[in-house]
Amino acid sequence: MRTTKVARLLAGGAALTALTLLSACGGSPHRDTEAIGSRAPVPPRVSKARVDVLPGMPPVEDPGDLYAADRPGKLSPVVEGFPSRVYVPNTNSDTVTVIDPKTYKIIETIPVGRQPQHVVPSWDLRTLWVNNDLGNSLTPIDPSSGRAGKPVDVHDPYNLYFTPDGRYAVVMASKDRRLVFRDAHTMKQVKSVPVDCGGVNHADFSIDGRYFIVSCEFSGELLKVDTARMEVVGRQKLDLHGAMPQDVKISPDGKRFYIADMVAGGMWILDGDTFGKPGFLATGKGAHGLYVSRDSREMYVSNRGEGSVSVFDFTRNRLTKKWHLPGGGSPDMGGVSADGKVLWLSGRYNAEVYAIDTRTGAELARIKVGSGPHGLAVYPQPGRYSLGHTGVFR
C-alpha cells in the first residue's frame, strides 16, 4: 500500500472508527474476538484424502493442513546451505538491507532499482526477486551468496506470485491494472490480463491450485482468477465504505481465505469456492500482513496503524492475544523465522524492523534500516516450493 494513498484517504476522512465498521458488518464493539459470518474450522489433522490438483502442481501432502511442509527444520535440500538472512526492501532509499537474524546486525546494503516493494522467493527456491516498482525491473539476488544479479525488465512489478505448478510468475501490476503472467524463470511475458479494479496487490491460491483470490486495495474489491485459463472469473465489491483489502492467506484446511483490510481494521473471511459475501473480524487499526505460525494453529495479523500484532487461533476461530510494540511503531509485512520462534516485520513509517517473540509477543530487537521498509523476506524458510510474495510456502 503506497503512503501517498493512505495520506489522501486519511485527509479525506475515509478511515472509519472501529465502532462504525463493526456496526456496518452487523457486529458489536464487544464482539471483537469472534469471527462474524464464519463457522469454526476443523482442527488441523492428518488426512489421506487425495486432492485433484492443478496439473503439474506437487501433490497436497495433507489436505487437513496445507502448511504441513512448513514445520521447523523442514528445509528443502535446495536451501539447506543458504545463510539465514532477513532481506528488507526500502522503498524510499532504493536499497535492500540485509540483516543477520542471529545477531540482529546489518551486514550489507544492496542498491537496487527505484522503489523496491517486496523481496520474493522464486517457486524453485533458488532466487530472491526484488520488485522495483517504479524502476520497472526485477533484481535477482542469489540467496546462497547474497549477490545481486542483472535486473530484468518488467513493467510495474508491485508484487509477484508464482502459480503452484511452477510454470508462471504472476506480476501484480497495480498502476497498469493488470495481472501479467510470465515465464517463472525467464520472466518473458506470456499473457497480460486487464482488470477493472484499482490496486491489485496481494493473493493466495486454493488448496488445489486451480484458482486464486486477489485483493484490490484502491477500489475495495476482490477478484477470483482461474489459474489454468489465466482469466478473472469472479469479482465483488466489499460492503464497507472505504474498504482497503491487503494481504491474503488461506486457512490450513483450505476452507476459507482471510483478507486483511487496512481501513476496515480487520480481516474479511471468505469461502473461495462459492465466492459469496465474506464475514468480517475486527483485529486493529491498519490491519495489513497475515502470517501463519509453524504449527499451523495461529495466524499473526500486523496492525500497522496502531503498532500491534493480533493473534488469531484457527482451531478456536477467534482472536486470543494482542501484542503492542513498546513505544509504538508501524508493523507492516514480513515473515516467520525458520524455527518459528521469531516474527519479523518491517516498520513502514519508522525506518525500522521489528523482531517479535512468537511465544510471548515481546520485542526482541528494533533495527534501524532505510526509508520506507516494506515487504521483507525471511530466508530460507521451510517448504517444498514458494508461491511468492514475501514467502508463501507449501
DSSP class of residue 330 equals -
The structure's pTM equals 0.89
pLDDT of amino acid 48: 54
Q: What is the CATH number of the domain that holds 100?
A: 2.130.10.10
Q: Within a domain: residue 214?
A: yes
Q: Any idea how long the chain is?
A: 394
pLDDT score at 67: 98
How does pLDDT run across 348-382, given as a tens digit for each residue? 999 999 999 999 999 999 999 999 999 999 999 99
Is the distance from CB of 87 to CB of 377 less than 8 angstroms?
yes
**Burial state string for 201-218 with b = 16 or more CB within 10 A and e = fewer than 16:** bbbbbbbbbbbbbbbbbb
Question: Do the domain assignments include residue 288?
Answer: yes
Residues 381 and 70: beta-carbon distance below 8 Å = yes
Q: Whole-angstrom distance between the N-terminal and C-terminal Cα of the chain? A: 25
CA nearest to 346, candidates 331, 361, 336, 356:
331
Region 213-224 average pLDDT: 97
In a domain, 387, yes or no: no
The parent domain of residue 32 ranges over 3-379
Contact 158, 387 (CB under 8 A): no
Q: Which three cell numbers stand for residue 122?
A: 522464486
In a domain, 385, yes or no: no
**Domain-located, residue 154:** yes
DSSP conformation class of 24? H
Query: Is 394 part of any domain?
Result: no
The mean pLDDT value for 157-167 works out to: 98
**How many folded domains does the chain comprise?**
1
Is pLDDT above 60 for 39? Answer: no
Q: Report yes or no on 388 lying in a domain.
A: no
In a domain, 346, yes or no: yes
How far, in whole angstroms, is CA 133 from its chain's centroid? 17
Q: Which three cell numbers stand for residue 376?
A: 521483507
